[in-house]
Structure 1
Amino acid sequence: MNVDSKVKKKKNQSNRKAYLLPLAIVLLLVGLVVWNNIRQETRLPNKDWSRSVSISAESISSEPIAFKEDNQYHIYTHLKDGIKATILDEKLNVVSEKTEKLPIDERGNFWTDGKQIAFVSQGDLIIQEGGKQNVLDKGVEFLADTKNRFAYTKGNEVYAYEPESGKSKLIFSAKEKVAELTANPESASFIAVVGEKVEMEAFYLTEKSGQYEPVSILKYSKTPTDKIYNFRFAEAGDDVHILYTFYSSKQGTKSFKTFYSSAPMNQLKDLSFTSVNFKDVSEGYEIENPTYLNLNIEDNAPTILFSARGAISTKKDAGNIYRASLKNDTWEATRISTTNDFSIYPVKAEDQTVFWLKAESVQDYQVHAASQDPAIMKNSQSISKQDVYNASFDAFAASIVSFIAMTNAFVWIVPTILFLGILYVVRIDVIEEEKPWVKWVSIALFVLTQLYVIQSLFNNRFYTLAPEYLTFDGSSLVVPIIVSIVALYVMQAVKNKDWGLFAQVSYFIGITVLFQLFIVGTYVY
């Protein structure tokens, strides 16, 4: 091998190092970004609840039925062409699945006790048991289910069906058409909302000595831009807790507000509803536009499950499921879901387990769950392929967006360019002779300018998004200095004798900006 070949080989090795060493560092930095994202993905929604657990049960946009019996969870979901029954063990593993092909109305509710299924099909109320179907009634519109019975409406009348006797009886007759019928799984009572046009009135139907007695709990005059709907209630001993949703639309803006009241059962005529403000205790802000509310009793106190838009991580928002409890006249809400997209229809199977539907597309939904069981909480934090995919995609997106954040790097190089430009005019000899002090002054000007300008990137959002090793006191000074030292070391390690003054300074500036792109830029937006 001749001398020229040896020199050429050394140059090629140096050129490769000039690319490979920064590339290795960039890959390490990208790995740190991905790992930080994985940590965010696998965090619990709060210390008391597991991450969301996907259940292999599909549904359309319809409230599921969920309850626990004999140490197993029973989930019934509404499909396009029937009902699916899914049984889970205590660890939320599927024990069995069964689909019943039924001509159920797409917007219709259903009732089941595990043996019988009641549903509405084109106005016919049908009871199915053992594969046989019987039409119980005709002209039926709404069905409201409890654990042991259900009620349904026909025009201005409400009927209750007793599975044991196989008969239904009239329990309420109104002057106008019934517009809404609500039940609670743990109660034998119902709420019937009467009036579809302007005047509406809500009645609480409670059973006494085998007969239902209606009590007026609310009167309201509707307008074309607002309405009251989605009444929910729960009973705790002799006390009744009631809430409803107030919807309004003004100038194209939709808003949803929740109103709540409670009273002993014999004082329901004196109810006074007050607006409910849900406060996210972990984020510290008020949650707006809660929907899909469900009211339950836990430890003899009311709790509300609902869906609302909110943060699921430092970078992402989603339609979350929240659980709120009343403490000192304040409804304190905590997020219990970690699913993306939008989640609706939360239902409680028992105090420790909540199920809901997560949107997979416009029409298709998947059942998800959250649990307070320690074993489920631990297992839910295992890193899945989806977690790695989400973390990698977020890292890629953050890297692209970080180019916007790093536009202020153009300012970093201005003093260095001015310095070298002036020298080129007044003292070109020191540049041609490549005096060492010229290189060090150029680098120092760049580093000092960077230290000053980069402070704007260390903002509140950066300290919220970035990991702990980048957010200590003084990190806005220490991190850029460390990056500059590493970049300087890389430059010194890969340069060869053919590198001139401009090549060394340009290389140092280039890899410094590149490193800052992935260390600081990925956490700015």
Structure 2
Amino acid sequence: MIETENGVYLLIRMVSIEGNQLTYYQVKGNNLQKLGENAFAVKGSEEVRDIQFTVKNNMYHILVSTLQKQSQSGEVENDYYYAEGPFEEDPNLNRLSFSDPFSSTELREVSDLSMEYTEDGTLLLFKATGWTETRFRENTQFNIYQAKIKNNNETEVTRLSNTPSFSNFPIRVNPDTIIWVDHGGENHNLLVSSSRPEVITKADQVTKQALLHTSGKTIGMLSAGLFALLISIIWFLWPLLFMIIIMFTRVEAMDQDRSWVLYTGIFIYLIAAIWTKDLLFSESLLSRAPEYLSFPGSPILYLLSFGLISFAMLKIGSPTKDWSIPVQLTYFIGVHVLLITVIFGPYLL
């Protein structure tokens, strides 16, 4: 039973061998006025778990939730089907898919789903597992999403919450506001998402909990990045060996701070870094890193780009410091390794 601006409606479902028989009624006083009936069937491997409906412009809009009786993964799998049409027309169920708006995959474990018809069309409110950057070493979490069903039965998904805690039980308070329960350890918080300016203004502040969480994640990511320093020692050994050879074979070049010694040392370092890049830029690291860091050829591109940045910083600082060649080379390598540690290090473990 649902209540809309046009009245109260009732849907009765009867299950038979042929399928699911649906009968629609409108409540008028103490009587029921029959609006129509139709039927649908699902696959033999599926079981209907829930049916939601609404009525608009003398047409039904139904959302059918099914459960796979047996799945290859052994996990519970839910599917959602949507249909709309005149009351006497059988539903043409179309399976809905929900793409993660922040990754190239689909949202998983969709549940707590509710349907509402608005001026913008049919909207679905639900929780699902999707991409988030609010957690340390984990890039997925249950958050709250909204999906708009388009004319071709495709969905336009919007993420309404983005917290590191488990979010569920979303409820739409009004067209501009939703609330949900955020499970944060022993404490459960009731959070709000709204498009109203006065609500956004009040919420536009950093809380103590958010500050502590951000600080903890930052420290954790930087500590993981320290492992990049250990790997970079291998890169440093080759220019170090070159400098030792120069010290014993071309002493005058070191004494006179010949620039070719510095450039050769930098070249050897970058060649060593590119040659052994797989030690740091492993497949597991690239799979955890965001797309702007893990596209094809990104390790070489970033190694060379960081090299240009390090060289520019060296040229800005060295003329005023009167550094020797070994110090300049060490400075270049130090800045280069620091950039790699900060940018790629957090995804190493």
> TM-score band, normalised by the shorter chain?
0.7 to 0.9
How far apart, in 1, do the equivalents of 2:237 and 2:112 lie? 56
- Matching of residue 402 in structure 1 with residue 220 in structure 2: no
Please say if residues 147 and 156 of structure 2, whose CA atoms lie closer than 8 Å, have aligned partners that are also in contact. yes
Partner of 2:182: 358
| 1:188 match: secondary structure | strand
The equivalences for 1:430-509 within 5 A come to: 430=251, 435-437=255-257, 443-451=262-270, 453=273, 461=289, 464=292, 477-484=304-311, 486=313, 489=317, 493=321, 504=327, 508=331
> Structure 2: which amino acid aligns with 1:430?
V
Say if 2:190 is the partner of 1:367.
yes
The CA distance in 2 between the partners of 1:393 and 1:494, in whole Å, is 40
What is the percent sequence identity of the aligned residues? 16
CA distance in 2, matches of 1:184, 1:345: 19
What is aligned with 2:164?
A: 340
Equivalent residue runs for 1:90-169 within 5 Å: none
Residue aligning to 1:250: 72
Alpha-carbon distance in 2 for matches of 1:522, 1:185: 55
Deviations 1:146-203 (A, max 9, x none): xxxxxxxxxxxxxxxxxxxxxxxxxxxxxxxxxxxxx4353633445566x9997464
Q: Deviations over 1:459-511 (max 9, x none)?
A: 89467379xxxx9xx8764543333454684898598xxxx987x47853673
Instruction: Say whether the 8 Å CA contact 1:415–1:445 is kept in structure 2.
Output: no
Distance 1:314 1:464 in 2: 18
CA distance in 2, matches of 1:292, 1:245: 11
Give the counterpart letter for 2:83 in structure 1.
Answer: S
The CA distance in 2 between the partners of 1:429 and 1:282, in whole Å, is 56
Aligned match of 1:292: 112
Report SS of the residue matched to 2:162: coil
Q: CA deviation at 1:345?
A: 2.4
Aligned counterpart, 2:26: 207
* 297-306 or 387-396, larger mean C-alpha shift: 387-396
Unpaired runs of 5+ in structure 2?
A: none
Supply the AA of the counterpart residue of 2:175.
D
Alpha-carbon offset, residue 282 of structure 1: 6.0
Higher relative contact order (CA 8 A, sep 6+): 1
Aligned in 2, Cα 1:369/1:446: closer, same or farther, shift over 3 Å?
A: farther
> Shift of residue 370 of structure 1?
1.0
Q: Distance in 2 between matches of 1:309 and 1:234?
A: 27
Match of 2:143 among 320, 342, 351: 320
Give distance in 2, aligned partners of 1:429 and 1:510. Answer: 22
Cα distance in 1, alignment partners of residues 18 and 219 from structure 2? 55
Pick the structure with greater CA Rg.
1
1:391 aligns with 2:214: yes
Matches of 2:291 and 2:131, distance apart in 1? 16
Q: More strand per residue: 1 or 2?
A: 1
One-letter amino acid of the counterpart of residue 291, structure 1: S
TM-score relative to the length of structure 1: 0.51
Show the counterpart of 2:199.
376
Q: How many residues align?
A: 322
Asked whether 1:260 is paired with 2:82, we answer yes
Question: Gapped runs of 5+ residues in structure 1?
Answer: 1-182
Q: Decide whether aligned partners of structure 1 residues 451 and 390 sit closer, same or farther in structure 2, where only a CA change above 3 A counts.
A: farther
Aligned match of 1:151 = none
Q: Which residue number in structure 1 is paired with residue 339 of structure 2?
A: 516
Q: CA deviation at 1:343?
A: 1.9
Residue of structure 2 aligned with 1:277, choices 97, 105, 109: 97
Alpha-carbon distance in 1 for matches of 2:222, 2:262: 26
The CA distance in 1 between the partners of 2:320 and 2:147, in whole Å, is 59
Per-residue Cα deviation, 1:260-307 (whole angstroms, up to 9, x for no partner): 11122x325x11211112244565654344222110011162111121
SS of the aligned residue for 1:250 comes to: coil
Report the TM-score when normalising by structure 2.
0.72
1:78 corresponds to which residue?
none
Distance in 1 (CA, whole Å) between partners of 2:27 and 2:334 is 80
C-alpha distance 254-442 of structure 1, shift in aligned 2 (>3 A): farther
Contact 2:116 2:124 in 1 (8 A): yes
RMSD: 4.3
